[in-house]
Amino acid sequence: EAAVTQSPRNKVTVTGGNVTLSCRQTNSHNYMYWYRQDTGHGLRLIHYSYGAGNLQIGDVPDGYKATRTTQEDFFLLLELASPSQTSLYFCASSDATNTEVFFGKGTRLTVV
C-alpha cells in the first residue's frame, strides 16, 4: 500500500501569514501533486512535479508556490495567506504508469 504522509493535519493562520504544508511519499513515485478540495469544486490541481527539482503549474496556482526537494518530499508554500485559501489540501503521488494516484490524509487549513 502506497504511503503518502502530510503534515500538519490541521493549521490555523492569520491573513497575511506564511504557511508551509509538507508531504512525503515513501514509494519512490515519480509524480507528486497538490490539490485543494472545496465543496462544489471537487479537487483542483494547484501544482505538480515529476521529480526532484521539477515543478509544473496546475489549474489554480495563484497564491501558491511549491518545491520538490527530493524524490520523497513535496512542499506547498503560502507566503501571504488569504481567507480564500481556507480549504482541505491533499497531496498525492503516482508512478510513471499513472494508473493509480495515492492520496495523503489531507491538511485542513483555515485562514482567519
Partner 1 sequence: QQQVRQSPQSLTVWEGETAILNCSYEDSTFDYFPWYWQFPRESPALLIAIRPVSNKKEDGRFTIFFNKREKKLSLHITDSQPGDSATYFCAAFNYNVLYFGSGTKLTVEP
60: contact with partner 1 by CB under 8 A: no
Q: Which stretch binds partner 1 (CB under 8 A): 14-22, 54-62, 66-74, 79-87?
A: 54-62
Q: Could you tell me if 105 and 6 are in contact, meaning their C-beta atoms sit under 8 angstroms apart?
A: yes
How far apart are alpha carbons 52 and 49 in whole angstroms?
8
Q: Tally the C-alpha atoms within 13 A of residue 19's C-alpha that lie toward its C-beta.
A: 29
Candidates 51, 70, 105, 110; binder of partner 1 (CB under 8 A) is 105
Instruction: Give me the numbers of helices (H) and strands (E) for the chain, helices first please.
Output: 0, 11
Q: Which stretch binds partner 1 (CB under 8 A): 7-15, 19-27, 36-44, 68-76?
A: 36-44
Contact residues: partner 1, CB under 8 A: 31, 33, 35, 40-45, 48, 50, 56, 58-59, 90, 92, 94, 96, 98-101, 103-106
